[in-house]
Homo-oligomer: A and B are copies of this chain.
Amino acid sequence: MALIVQKYGGSSLADGEKLNSVARRVARARADGYQVVVVVSAMGNTTDDLIKLAYQVNDHPSDRELDVLLSTGEMVSSTLLAMALGNLGCQAVSLSGAQAGIRTDAGYRRARILSVDPRRVLAELDKGKIVIVAGFQGIATDKDITTLGRGGSDTTAVALAASLQAENCQIYTDVAGVYTADPRVVPEALQLKRIGYEEMQELSSQGAKVIHSRAVELAELYNMPVIVASSDGDSPGTLISKEEAVMEVTNRVRGIAREAKVVKITAVGVPDQPGIAATIFEPLVKANISVDTIVQNTSIEGVTDLSFTVEQEDEAQAISIVEPVAMGIGAKRCISEAHLAKISIVGTGMQNTPGFAAKMFRTLSEQGINIRMITTSEIRITCIVSENRVDDATRALHKAFALDRGEP
């Protein structure tokens, strides 16, 4: 009997009615003859509510305790979904991350999965049961509960799918699949039927929220096909899988990703010596601040400007960490610029075709949009622009790269 893993996000499980609707979808897969493992997020805003409670009693709650607290959210939704399935006459059992064999390191709040021991899940499947697993959580070797950080439930689902050798991993969310751009900004945006792992990873890490880039990375590692689809309706969604060799000939932009609330921080006039980047970024990593785009401008007369972006909520902390360090190694000053946004075009083979970058820059310039920073990867070109122009930029680029004309 073929096995599939389905994952449902918090907005798909927000109340009793939605839980029942998800239960019907799961039951349908079972009736279609599949063994089904379901991974769930916490219901609606549960996680935020729990975090609020924590900060009511402690301004700096310990990560170990926060993980225990947050893990209860997924336990609640997993057991409620098992009950909802019971109500439909399906045999279902809920398992915590620990019970499902999700072993992690002890990095509370953002633990990494070390291994999956699927024995308990397999034993329950053998009894004919649907297995509901609390996502986002695992157990460290010292038997303490950990949570996996952002995208945790997506990662749980893909890790389980890989260890159970599932036919595929289905990620159900509140959008119908992966689009060429955010349909709320670009009404002409088209849904992609299929996309490669690397392209999806770039789109995700650049702000496309349908699936976390970390889960895509894991899926690529185990060559696990992932389907992203809406938990409402019957749209087939988007298949994320290995690019086939025949597709390689077509170099094209597949989608546009964007992320607002970006802050650019620049250490100005840093003496250009080996090790300065490490000196500046190591304390940020220790403070768990995620540094995104990094650009070091060309060195002029032995000094250089080092710029990087962080999320807006990390601005104050990042500056308070970087400023003394930068001044300590001889920087002239530190400046920060808020209200920025990232916009990226993503597509295979882009870097071998210089025309893409030029076309992107020209399109933005024609709209009078100033580019503050540029970075590129193998399959992505990213510009940092003013936040209030990012929607215009998205629409203009969508048109310029003919994304409204369907898949090539």
Q: Does A56 contact B (CB under 8 A)?
A: yes
**CB-based contact A57/B94 at 8 Å:** no
Q: In the complex, A65 Cα to B131 Cα: how many Å?
A: 12
A293 within 8 A of B: no
Q: Is A384 an interface residue (CB 8 A)?
A: no
A74-82, A188-196, A273-281, A335-343 - the one binding chain B: A74-82
Compute how far the CA of A284 lies from the CA of B386 in the bound complex, rounded to whole angstroms.
72
Give complex CA distance A61, B50 in Å.
25
State the main secondary structure of chain A at its contact with B.
helix
Give A52's nearest chain B residue, CB to CB: B16
User: Are the CB atoms of A83 and B54 closer together than 8 Å?
Assistant: yes
| Inter-subunit contact B56/A82 (CB<8 Å) | no
Q: Is the CB of A59 within 8 A of B79?
A: no
Q: Is the CB of A76 within 8 A of B50?
A: yes
Q: How large, as a class, is the contact surface on chain A?
A: 35 or more
Any chain B CB within 8 A of the CB of A312? no
Say yes or no for A294: interface residue by CB 8 A criterion. no
A23 within 8 A of B: yes
Counting CB contacts under 8 A, is A47 at the interface?
A: no
Contacts of A20 in B (CB 8 A): 57
Residue A330 lies at the interface, judged by CB distance under 8 Å to chain B: no
Chain A, residues 65-95, CB within 8 Å of chain B (1/0): the string is 1101101100110111111101100000110
Contact pick for A57, options B23, B62, B78, CB 8 Å: B23
For residue A93, which residues in chain B have a CB less than 8 angstroms away from its CB? Answer: 64-65
| Bound CA span A334–B16, Å | 40
Q: Nearest residue in B to A64 (C-beta to C-beta)?
A: B93
Q: Are B56 and A16 in contact (CB under 8 A)?
A: yes
Is A19 part of the contact surface with B, judged by Cβ < 8 Å? yes
State whether the Cβ of A53 lies closer than 8 Å to any Cβ in chain B: yes
- Separation in Å of the A55 CB from the closest CB of chain B? 9
Q: Which residues of A (1-40) have their CB < 8 Å from a CB of B?
A: 15-16, 19-20, 23
| A58 part of interface (Cβ distance < 8 Å) | yes
Query: A75 vs B76: C-alpha distance in the bound complex, in angstroms?
Result: 12
Residues in chain B near residue A69, CB distance under 8 A: 75-76, 79-80, 83
Please, how many angstroms separate the alpha-carbon atoms of A23 and B54 in the complex? Answer: 14
* A to B CB contacts below 8 Å, 14 in the list: A50-B76, A54-B79, A59-B87, A60-B86, A62-B83, A65-B79, A68-B78, A68-B79, A69-B75, A69-B76, A71-B75, A72-B76, A75-B75, A99-B144
5 shortest interchain CB distances as A-B pairs:
A16-B56, A57-B84, A72-B72, A58-B87, A58-B83
Given contacts A16-B53, A53-B80, A65-B93, 7 further A-B contacts (CB under 8 A): A15-B56, A16-B56, A58-B86, A62-B86, A68-B78, A72-B75, A72-B76
